[in-house]
Structure 1
Amino acid sequence: MTTRLALKQITKQYPAVVANDNVDLTVLPGEIHAVLGENGAGKSTLMKIIYGVTKPDSGQMFWNGQEMRISSPSAARELGIGMVFQHFSLFDTLTVAENIALGLPSTIRLDDIENRIADTARQYGLDLEPQRHVHTLSVGECQRVEIVRALLGRPQLLILDEPTSVLTPQAVDKLFETLRKLANEGCSILYISHKLDEIRALCHTCTVMRGGKVTGVCDPRNETDASLSRLMIGTEPPAITHNERPAGEARLSVQRLSLPKAHPFATELDDIDFEVRAGEILGVAGVSGNGQQELLAVLSGEDTRAPRTALVFDGRPIGDKSTAWRRAHGIGVVPEERLGRGAVPELSLAHNMLLSHQTRATVSKGLVNRGAIQSLAAGIIQRFKVKAPGAQAIAASLSGGNLQKYIVGREVTRNPKVLLVAQPTWGVDVGAAAQIRSELLALRDAGCALLIISEELDELFEISDRLVVLAKGRMSPSIKTSQASQDLIGQWMSGLWDSTGAPAGTEEPVC
């Protein structure tokens, strides 16, 4: 059988690191092939070389048996290679249809593209509105755009970089059905994920990378999560210890908050009411696009339309307070979008400290203390095991998982009274995810009140003390995690609950 893709001795070196070191990779037609490795192992660089984004320093690439040099993504698409990036390549001011049109022949009418998008999205269970502007989408919805754009190209090879990181379990199941169908039709799939159970359930072959080199090839169906973890990071991830403990006083309260849509495609918030107490983690579950983005904007101060008394922090109404005021008084934020919101891509890690660490130690009389911010950044790099050449590394040069560790570390080291976190371990390897979750639990144990928005139900069940669900802008009652089940939370994610917290349609038993 002719191979679909073969890489021979691919090497790519940057000034501070060898990203790919004589990498060999073979993918057969109809094969779902996983590429597994910890953050910074060189996986994304290798995929960008295949897709023509990055040129290798040396090595050979064979496509359907013929040697090729792919000069650009457009050349890759003409060959039949599609890619879904972990960090999205979308223009915020264009609509979904306009973004997708950029990768299609200019002879196709926009209304035809909109119809094709709607049909493809419906076929694969990836809800999209073609006329919606990208800047109004959540991270999960942006990921759907990328997946649909790749599928519209009818690729012979589809590269997926962390495709399920912000998808719900139901959407993941639907995506897997799609990928298996594509593979049965002869499409090859390169699948990058840190979710070991997904790789074992979906993939036929797994190539393991560490430090830019291939360290092994295996059949993941014959492995366990523990054995794959050992292949990837050399050990099993540390166990998370979550001990129940009584919570303290309410640190952040939201009282009868209702807000109209900020734009036509936003989600209206309807009578939101909850509190987060000192020394507890409140987990917020829900399908992407159900109000999580809007809720975080209100809590962080990005959206100040809330009535003054609807938000109370340490007994003080703050609905009208700015983001800067809230940060200065002890509210930290880790947004779901790493590049652009969590970090300025073109700035160094040290200068990115100034997004949240503006104190007398770092800024005095309008002057930045460079030594102080470099020292703070270096401390986070060391403590959170961030793979970066140093505090002067540009944020955009880090892998997604390493940048996530840095942003979480930046907020954790502020010792906030309240920490708001969206998608804390998106695109992060198993070892780093365990470290981030342990740090969040340690912050809780130190008395911080944490609100964590995540579409990873396993993660929420692992670290949360209480759970709520956002569905269509409405919030469910809270329930202790120890009393909840994934089935119950799944029902609530469809909006099926009553005021008592019981699933809709059920009645309390009569004694």
Structure 2
Amino acid sequence: MCKSYPAVIANDHVSLTVAPGEIHAVLGENGAGKSTLMKIIFGAVKPDAGQMRWNGEEVRISSPQMARQLGVAMVFQHFSLFDTLTVTENIALGLHGDTDLQELARQIRETGATYGLELEPERHVHTLSVGERQRVEIVRALLTKPQLLILDEPTSVLTPQAVQKLFVTLRQIAAEGCSILYISHKLDEIRELCHSATVMRAGKVTGHCDPRQETAASLSRLMTGAETLPQARPATAAPGEVRLAVKALSLPRSHAFGTSLEQVSLQVRSGEIVGIAGVSGNGQQELLAALSGEDRRAAAEMLQLCGQNVGQRGPDARRALGQSFVPEERLGRGAVPEMSLTDNMLLSHHQPPFVQRGLIRAAATVAAASAILQRFKVKAPGPQALARSLSGGNLQKFILGREITRQPKVLVVAQPTWGVDVGAAAQIHEEIRQLRDQGCAVLVISEELDELFTLCDRLYVIAKGRMSPPVSTADVTREQIGLWMSGLWQQDQAQNGGQHV
């Protein structure tokens, strides 16, 4: 398969063979061409050249509808859901026009319960967190009972327990003869789940392997060509003054399917990284809205930024006090898809030297965007590239770079390495650590326990809108945090004599 775009060759004579019942991984750094190849197979992208055979016969898949008719289903990394429709209505869009919505809702509940991907079919998508939206995509694919299931970063926002349950499901599906193409940057997952792997770099296939016979280090080396990755390191100095404080924050849910926040309290000091763990849909979305200034219903004193009450101030006022914010939703919230990277800079850099007396200084803005591309190794044709043209991981690096270069006093970042390859994740973590070492107070909200343990100095857990006591990552296990994610910290503390673990 060959596919070129302006200034980039996405697929350069890529060949791939998948057998019935095989779970086949496709490995590569962000921008290696994996997602383009999957979209070609699914009919969402037309190749420039190449041949595809399906069950031994040559086919030209011209659209996703044709792909679904053949028995191909795909779960995209960037969701293809309509915010104003319900879960049931979104799933019905890919089915026959005479689909009974009540029967479909029953199937959604049944499939979700079977696979550990519980959903409320009547909820509107705009009320769902990123993790819940991913469940919709996976359930939608499973409902078609496909012969080939393509999964692009399917576990990026699932808990460890949900991942293991999904793996049981995928093995069962494969045992029934369904082929699975599996894209993930979690090398341990690939080694545990997949029977074979194709490795891509810069649009070309660079090798094949049996991941079960490889180590995480050897797989990383095949992907990146690098021998070693930056290692985790502790803070270089003790934390300083409190920069971000949440004090007994209680907010009723803003819509019928939201989560109420109840007496949420936390502190983040300068020179430390604090993490918040939790299963998707337990109040993270509501807390992020309050922290960013999108939700200003809190009393002024419930949220303090650099010593000032900001509960009822908007995003611009908080930015002026030194806060930067990286949302979990890249396209549409972190970046405007149809705008260039240079124009996207202005979403948070609308002050001198980029804007003066109401006029945009184009040269300064272009130079700043170009510097981010270089510093954060963002693969893009240039600063004028549209945000939607970047792979998920590269767009994440750009958004994070845009906020880090503001030299914030407080950085709030959600899902910092969602869908990001192992090399880029290590780089992002190192940039966040450097920010911490320069005195920034960093709050990370993530559903990746490994990431939180690698990155954070202290942890909180959020469950059903309530916040656990803080605990040092050095003094707690992943299993402990897993229990707390079910809201069991009070019981756990009682068993330990009321002491923090």
TM-score normalised per structure 1 = 0.96
- Note the alpha carbon deviations across 1:76-96, whole angstroms, 9 max, x for none: 000000000000000000000
Contact kept in structure 2, 1:488 and 1:503, CA below 8 Å: no
Tell me the CA shift for residue 237 of structure 1: 4.4
Contact kept in structure 2, 1:285 and 1:457, CA below 8 Å: yes
2:329 match? 337
Distance in 1, Cα, partners of 2:318 & 2:415: 21
1:77 match? 68
Match of 2:50 among 59, 82, 87: 59
Q: Which deviates the most, 320-329 or 429-438?
A: 320-329
Match of 1:445 among 437, 443, 450: 437
Written as runs of structure 1 = structure 2, the 5 A alignment for 1:91-490 is 91-244=82-235, 245-490=237-482
Tell me the CA shift for residue 503 of structure 1: 4.0
Which SS does the other structure have where 1:425 is aligned?
A: coil
Contact kept in structure 2, 1:335 and 1:341, CA below 8 Å: yes
Match of 2:40 among 49, 65, 71: 49
1:6 match? none
Unmatched tracts of structure 1, length 5 or more? 1-9
Contact kept in structure 2, 1:35 and 1:190, CA below 8 Å: yes
Q: Which deviates the most, 288-297 or 355-364?
A: 355-364
1:18 match? 9
RMSD: 1.1
Aligned residues: 498
Contact kept in structure 2, 1:425 and 1:436, CA below 8 Å: yes
Tell me the CA shift for residue 274 of structure 1: 1.1
Which SS does the other structure have where 2:460 is aligned?
A: strand
Which SS does the other structure have where 2:3 is aligned?
A: strand
Distance in 2, Cα, partners of 1:162 & 1:454: 15
Distance in 2, Cα, partners of 1:465 & 1:164: 25
Contact kept in structure 1, 2:230 and 2:430, CA below 8 Å: no
Distance in 1, Cα, partners of 2:263 & 2:395: 35
Distance in 1, Cα, partners of 2:422 & 2:188: 11
- Note the alpha carbon deviations across 1:24-52, whole angstroms, 9 max, x for none: 10000000000000000000000000000
Q: Please tell me the residue identity of whatever aligns with 2:186.
A: K
Distance in 2, Cα, partners of 1:56 & 1:140: 31
Distance in 1, Cα, partners of 2:470 & 2:394: 33
Distance in 1, Cα, partners of 2:119 & 2:336: 28
Contact kept in structure 2, 1:361 and 1:372, CA below 8 Å: yes
Tell me the CA shift for residue 108 of structure 1: 1.7
Distance in 2, Cα, partners of 1:343 & 1:103: 27
Unmatched tracts of structure 2, length 5 or more? none
Contact kept in structure 2, 1:49 and 1:56, CA below 8 Å: yes
Contact kept in structure 2, 1:278 and 1:448, CA below 8 Å: yes
Which SS does the other structure have where 1:24 is aligned?
A: coil
